């Protein structure tokens, strides 16, 4: 029974960690901006991803989401300029698993028991990526919208492409902001 309880707790902790390790997405915007006036945008590269393939995926996801918002890409004289910044950071996590065995019982002369246990700690290295998307008015050079997404990256390009697309979708989920 004790082994079952320990395994149940271990799986519960793993499930909670997996649920909490999802993407963190935030956005901010200029509350005085009239988002209904933005019909076109141009793209400007500022600090692209170091990997050219990742850069292409991010730009394609940005183009797709802005197109879904009804904002058309143009080469010049745009209402908005769109750009992004990407960074990665190596992080570590430590997981400790404890196994215990115990004995004992209740009786007239048995008042205690003896237990044994062991713990194992493992270290996991992972990469966290941060994506920042900025939209600004070119004439005023005024930032009107910023979305950020942070999540764990994979060694699998297909998973990263899905993650980029999901992050971009979440960034623009509430675009235009309420009340605009």
In this predicted structure, what is the pLDDT of residue 118?
75
Give the model's confidence band at 127: pLDDT under 50 very low, under 70 low, under 90 confident, else very high: low
Residues sharing a CB contact under 8 Å with residue 68, sequence separation 6 or more, in sequence order: 172
Q: What is the pLDDT of residues 7-18, one digit of tens each?
A: 333 333 333 333
pLDDT score of 122: 73
Class of domain 23-94+125-171: alpha beta
pLDDT band at residue 69 using 50, 70 and 90 as cut-offs: very high
For residue 3, what pLDDT band results from cuts at 50, 70 and 90? Answer: very low
Higher pLDDT, 50 or 68: 68
Residues forming a β-bridge with 89:
128
Find how far residue 166's CA is from the centre of its chain.
9
Q: Residue 9: its pLDDT value, please?
A: 34
* Total Cβ atoms within 10 A of residue 149: 22
> Can you tell me the distance from the alpha carbon of 69 to that of 47, in angstroms, rounded to the nearest whole number?
24
Amino acid 14: pLDDT: 32
> Which residue(s) pair with 132 in the sheet?
85, 148
Question: Are the C-beta atoms of 42 and 74 separated by less than 8 Å?
Answer: yes
Residue 2 has pLDDT above 50, yes or no: no
Give CA separation, 80 vs 19, 84, 110, 137, 150, in Å.
36, 13, 79, 5, 24
């Amino acid at each position: 029974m004790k082994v079952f309880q320990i395994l149940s707790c271990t799986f519960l902790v793993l499930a909670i960690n997996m649920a909490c390790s999802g993407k963190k997405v935030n956005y901010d915007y200029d509350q005085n901006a009239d988002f209904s006036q933005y019909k076109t945008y141009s793209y400007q590269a500022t600090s692209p991803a170091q990997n050219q393939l990742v850069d292409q995926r991010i730009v394609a996801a940005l183009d797709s989401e802005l197109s879904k918002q009804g904002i058309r890409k143009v080469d010049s004289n745009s209402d908005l300029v769109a750009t992004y910044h990407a960074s990665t950071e190596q992080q570590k996590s430590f997981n400790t698993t404890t196994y215990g065995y115990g004995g004992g019982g209740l009786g007239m002369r048995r008042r205690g028991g003896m237990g044994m246990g062991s713990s194992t700690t493992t270290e996991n290295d992972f990469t966290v990526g941060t994506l920042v998307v900025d939209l600004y008015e070119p004439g005023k050079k005024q930032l009107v919208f910023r979305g950020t997404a942070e999540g764990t990256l994979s060694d699998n390009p297909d998973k990263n492409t899905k993650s980029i697309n999901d992050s971009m979708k979440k960034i623009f989920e509430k675009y235009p902001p309420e009340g605009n």
